[in-house]
Structure 1
Amino acid sequence: MAISTNSDRQIQELQTLIKGIDYGMLTTVNDDGSLHSCPMHSIDELDTDGTLWFFTSANSHRVSEIEHNQQVNVSFTSSQNQRYISISGTAQLLQDREKMAELWKPELQTWFSQGLNEPDLALLKVSIKQADYWDSRSSYHPQHINLS
């Protein structure tokens, strides 16, 4: 898929905004329609097509929620830098061992003690549709990025 220059610039801006933020809050939709959030260790990189990646256990509650409703939100905060990012998109579970090896970082061993050999290790692929952010450069006036 070819991405326009404007999309490239927006993805680079979003990459700069989330760089250095170790955790994001992933919000999924429960079966009853209520929202459920949990912290996720950030890979700290966006793919050039606007994709976020998170490691997870394939049998986790968040995965079953995503199987029923792929709509998610991921929020990142750096209060020290006065930076706040809210990302909306869709998520899907992947068990691609090659992609896992590419994205693996040693600090993930804290949650997955067997590393890449963890039996139910999986990836959540979050395809970004839009993002809103506030930072000290924008004087807290919200900025909007639309990638859909």
Structure 2
Amino acid sequence: MSTKNLSNEEARKKIKDLAESIDYTMMATDLNNQPFHVVPMSTKEVDEAGNIWFLSNKNSEHNQNIERENKTQLIYADKGNFEFLTVYGRATISTDRNRIKELYGSGDDAWFEGVDDPNITAIKIQPDEAHYWDTKHGKVLSLLKMAQGAITGNEPDLGEHGNLKV
């Protein structure tokens, strides 16, 4: 894998592409304690500034953790396409009803009593550090390239990874 560090607009685009295509992430909060709290979350949006948005219940353990300490880690993995993203950043909780309505989708009815549920909050993660691993070819072709490299002794071009500076 080659290293390709990205910054500014390229970094924001890579975060958006990976976070929105992978969708589900493991959100870790309460990072100062072990074990830290981890919960699966569905990405609602990555905005133009590179902030990653989620919907959450105001009474959830991760909301309570964010209120105490805003440091958060997101871990995205798409094993089918060999795409991975980790984001370390600062979380803020919003109760802005307009923002919540923008993020809300019909699938969220499984978790909330409609868009006007008073317990809905929006969580915004502002990335401080991020790193990605992205194969160009998907899992099957990458495995074939690895096998070819093992046979020939040549290092296969499996894709790229790098730091993302937003």
RMSD: 1.8
Q: Which amino acid aligns with 2:74?
A: V
Contact 1:31 1:68 in 2 (8 A): no
Contact 1:71 1:89 in 2 (8 A): yes
CA distance in 2, matches of 1:60, 1:51: 21
Structure 2 residue ranges without an equivalent (≥5): 1-6, 137-156
Q: TM-score, normalised by structure 2?
A: 0.77
Provide, for residues 26-66 of structure 1, a one-character-per-residue CA deviation record: whole Å limited to 9, x for no partner.
000167454111001221x3111111111001111111111
Aligned to 1:106: 106
Aligned to 2:26: 25
Query: Superposition pairs for residues 34-45 of structure 1, below 5 Å?
Result: 34-43=35-44, 45=45
**How many residue pairs get matched?**
140
Structure 1 residue ranges without an equivalent (≥5): 1-5
CA distance in 2, matches of 1:25, 1:34: 14
Taking a change above 3 Å as real, the CA distance of residues 86 and 78 of structure 1, as seen in their structure-2 partners, is same
Provide, for residues 55-86 of structure 1, a one-character-per-residue CA deviation record: whole Å limited to 9, x for no partner.
00111111111111100011111111100110
Taking a change above 3 Å as real, the CA distance of residues 11 and 118 of structure 1, as seen in their structure-2 partners, is same
Q: TM-score, normalised by structure 1?
A: 0.86
Provide, for residues 111-136 of structure 1, a one-character-per-residue CA deviation record: whole Å limited to 9, x for no partner.
11x11121211111111112111121
Aligned to 2:4: none
Aligned to 2:65: 65
Contact 1:30 1:65 in 2 (8 A): no
CA distance in 2, matches of 1:110, 1:36: 22
Secondary structure (helix, strand or coil) at the match of 1:15 reads helix
Aligned to 1:80: 80
Taking a change above 3 Å as real, the CA distance of residues 32 and 133 of structure 1, as seen in their structure-2 partners, is closer
Query: Superposition pairs for residues 91-130 of structure 1, below 5 Å?
Result: 91-112=91-112, 114-130=113-129
Offset of residue 142 of structure 1 = 3.3
Secondary structure (helix, strand or coil) at the match of 1:116 reads coil
Secondary structure (helix, strand or coil) at the match of 1:65 reads helix
CA distance in 2, matches of 1:64, 1:19: 25
